[in-house]
Amino acid sequence: MPHNITIRPAIPEDAGIILTFIRDLAAYEKLSDQVQATEEDVLCSLFGEKPDAECLLAEDDEGVQGFAIYFHNFSTFLSRSGIYLEDLYVRPEARGQGIGKSLLEKLAAIAIERGCTRLEWAVLNWNQSAIGFYESLGTKILDDWRLCRIEGEKLSRLAEGN
């Protein structure tokens, strides 16, 4: 068990480790072929003039062990912002030591501090260890909603009205 877990906002100098975590997460999810992000992309998206998202890093006595990338979303029914957790990742050798929970606790505190009403994220249906972990925190897994995505050529065709 690490003696100290520190959660801090990422800084531009962390872009390399963030990209490493993105690649490690993709490998875990068997989606490595979908990673197109570069270190320059990470710098621009997280630390550019108008950042698209924010990142927290978790450190212990051994160094940076995990991250959480998140951004604001919006509930029309509540007319209030929420936080959407895009990715949460902890190095396999550091799991089970409270790092993931510490990241989620900090994210919940940020949500409350910013007046957000929700913290939401998606989990792959085969990832039973993550589902069990999230449920142990009191997370409600929504069965009645499906994630929708349109991308690439189909996105372009839709934008053109085709």
**Helix or strand run (H / E) with residue 65:** strand 63-75
Report the distance separating Cα 31 and Cα 111, nearest Å. Answer: 29
Residue of 70, 84, 89, 134 marked catalytic: 134
d(C-alpha 39, C-alpha 24), whole Å: 14
Taken as a whole, the chain contains a residue count of 162
In the chain, count H helices and then E strands. Answer: 5, 5
- Can 134 be counted among the known catalytic residues? yes
Q: Please tell me the distance from the alpha carbon of residue 104 to that of residue 88, in angstroms, as a whole number.
A: 9
Residues in Cβ contact with 139 at an 8 Å cutoff, skipping those fewer than 6 apart: none
Catalytic residues: 134
